[in-house]
Amino acid sequence: MLNTVKTLEWRGDALRIIDQTRLPTEQVYLDLRTVPEVAEAIKTLRVRGAPAIGIAAAFGVVLGVLAADDPPEALRAAAEQAIEELAATRPTAKNLFWALQRMRRVVEQTANQGKSVLLERLLTEANAILEEDRQACRAMGRHGASLLPDRCTVLTHCNAGALATADYGTAVGVIYAAAQAGKRIRVYADETRPLLQGARLTAWELMQAGIDVTLICDNMAAWVMRTVGIDAVLVGADRIARNGDVANKIGTYNLAVLAHRHGVPFYVVAPLSTFDPEIDSGEEIPIEERSPQEVTHPFGVQIAPEGVKVFNPAFDVTPAELISAIVTERGIVSPPLAEGIRKLLDGNEKS
């Protein structure tokens, strides 16, 4: 088995995370013991990636109840305050709200039984969310690897690896699974401006795992497709609408257009928790806008004129017609995506 990075784990009275803002030059772990600390870590991208922030938020609810008084009313109030604070951190990733809703149901069912019972049930649920993500990533890896030829050059964007999940990754998990199956995989990793998650995180993570990786600037992708030859584009997702439109890190839409132009398969890899059954199309997906400082002063260094206007959406939406397939833990959804997603979600509701 490949050695992947441990993104987060429960330590008895704290959630331990690797501080992703310090990578790749420093490998620093933080122990988060309060809801505000978890919320701050999510907002500032110390922990990031849709599955990972859902898991972190689940443990954040545990921390909120851990600090609460025992009467049922106080426990409910503390849990709800924690859920509201964590839900306000990042609006786009569906996994965040999916995980918090699971924790809310536990509170509603268990708060009357006292603090110790509630804590036990909440911790069990948070650990279940973590373990389900770990297993889902392994399953997605196996399914996705079947789409890749034995000798394969893939292009990635942002970070959809172990750092974005509980263990193995979504899109990068496909790369790991293919490598473990004996396929010869070469990766070109987009740097992913403005926060360089591809350069800082994906390139570092793949090197740690012994995968052949080459870093490129975002604006080199078309030329790489034309001259090097890319066999597949692999990306993750933060929210998927019922029609198959996919919200993912800004720049994903660009790659989908380029892949379509060059005849390159464009694969999205995401767990069922990323699908939003209440949203019909990508037009309804809320797109987070982040601080102008990320563009004008990346990593504290000014690179733009003082006072210049900035537009900094953190995500974009790729239309379903540009997507070759969506890989989930339950299998591969092929076009027409809307029909496949309907069957997938209907089956999930019945299970």
Domain 141-350 has CATH 2.40.110.10: no
Q: Closest Cα partner for 39 from 84, 103, 104? A: 84
Angle at 229 between CA 227 and CA 233, to 5 degrees: 125
* CA separation for the pair 120, 207 (Å, rounded): 38
Q: Closest Cα partner for 276 from 243, 253, 250? A: 243
Q: What are the start and end residues of each CATH 1.20.120.420 domain in the chain?
A: 8-138
pLDDT tens by residue, 57-91: 999 999 999 999 889 999 999 999 999 999 999 99
- State which CATH number among 3.30.70.20, 3.40.190.10, 1.20.120.420, 3.40.47.10 fits the domain covering 8-138: 1.20.120.420
pTM: 0.95
pLDDT tens by residue, 262-303: 999 999 999 999 999 999 999 999 999 999 999 999 999 999
Active-site choice (167, 238, 276, 316) = 238
CA dihedral 66, 67, 69, 75 (to 10 degrees): -60
pLDDT band, very low/low/confident/very high, at 351 (cuts 50, 70, 90)? low
pLDDT band, very low/low/confident/very high, at 5 (cuts 50, 70, 90)? confident
Q: How far is CA 322 from CA 53, 248, 261, in A?
A: 27, 14, 10
Q: Reply yes or no on whether 218 is catalytic.
A: no
pLDDT tens by residue, 95-150: 999 999 999 999 999 999 999 999 999 999 999 999 999 999 999 999 999 999 99
Q: What are the start and end residues of each CATH 3.40.50.10470 domain in the chain?
A: 141-350
